[in-house]
Amino acid sequence: MIFDPKLLVAGLCLLAIAFMLALIRRQVRQRRLGAVVAPRPQAAAGFRATADYGQTGGKLEGSAKTIAIIHDFGHPYNHHTEEREYLCEREAFEVLAQIRSVGKDTPIDIILHTPGGSAFACELIAAALKDRPNTTAYVPYCAMSAGTIIALSTEKVVMGRHACLGPIDLQFGYFPAETFTRLLKDKPIQNVEDVTVLLSYLAEKELKTSKQNACGLLNKKHFGNDDACQLTNFLVSGELPHGEQIGRARAKELGVNVVGEDCPDAVYRMVEARLELLRGPGGSDGRFDPNAKLKAKP
């Protein structure tokens, strides 16, 4: 076999070109993603919106510590950005760090706009809030599932006029855990696949734990004159569809300590600023416009 140095040089050149193209493509992609989630000044009057995974630092009232859990679960289809759509463990640890950064007597205002997320994540946050004095959850629009658990761990819940909470029944796979236990009661076990039977056993254990945890994380201000677990047992039971919207009036009937008539304007501005930040300068269609300028809200 005759060695041809020209072929070697040509091969090395092709490898170098391929490497350079890959590097350029990677840099372009990082810049595009960075531009979409980059923080922008003057997002909302009186508040500092950051790109730190949904956290917004600031003060809502007086010396209170304000923490925001805001998710853009309504972003356009096929909008590829790094914003969080659901509560996850990483965000929970960030919230815990913010809670730990203030003294025990410092009031905490937590802004919730979320469809829910990880049960483990919300339980971490709820456990940190439950025994603290002067905690208030603000729900301008909706705090579903895991968001409801966090709201119920605070002393007071301030809801918007059309805001909603939601059931906290455990979702096992694509179904409520309660449906698996009901399946074995309604159908002969010999007619059920082994995998489904095993899932039913596991769902039963998870459901029991879920009820205990939910009751344990419920702030005593929501007990009312009823049994401490009555509220959480109902929300965990699966009697309501998981997407059921529990408005202000219904929440009060169930025993939630809902106060006030509406959320302050500052809360709405904070949520709107964060959502605008998540969606990028291009607006609701998710396209990045380098010439777009953010208009400060009054």
Residue 55 has a pLDDT of 37
Q: Residue 259 pairs with which residues in a beta bridge?
A: 158
Phi, psi values for residue 177, rounded to 5°:
-60, -35
Structure tokens at 62: 């007086």
Predicted confidence (pLDDT) per residue in 146-158, tens digit? 999 999 999 999 9
Spans of the chain, pLDDT less than 50 = 31-58, 80, 82, 282-298
Residue 75 has a pLDDT of 57
Q: What's the topology of domain 43-279?
A: 2-enoyl-CoA Hydratase; Chain A, domain 1 (3.90.226)
Which DSSP string corresponds to 199-232? HHHHHHHHHHHHHHHHHHHS-GGG-TTS-TTHHH
Pick from 115, 103, 170: nearest CA to 139: 115
Predicted confidence (pLDDT) per residue in 17-53, tens digit? 777 767 666 665 554 433 333 333 233 322 333 333 3
Pick from 2, 247, 224, 270: nearest CA to 110: 270
Structure tokens at 195: 């995998």
Cα–Cα distance between 218 and 284 in angstroms, integer?
37
Cα–Cα distance between 79 and 36 in angstroms, integer?
10
Residue 24 has a pLDDT of 65
Residue 240 has a pLDDT of 84
- pTM equals 0.70
Residue 153 has a pLDDT of 96
Residues listed for the chain: 298
- Residue 142 near residue 150, CB atoms below 8 Å: no
Task: Please list the alpha-helical segments (H only) found in the chain.
Answer: 5-37, 89-100, 119-130, 146-152, 177-186, 194-217, 230-236, 248-254, 265-279
Residue 216 has a pLDDT of 92
Residue 280 has a pLDDT of 63
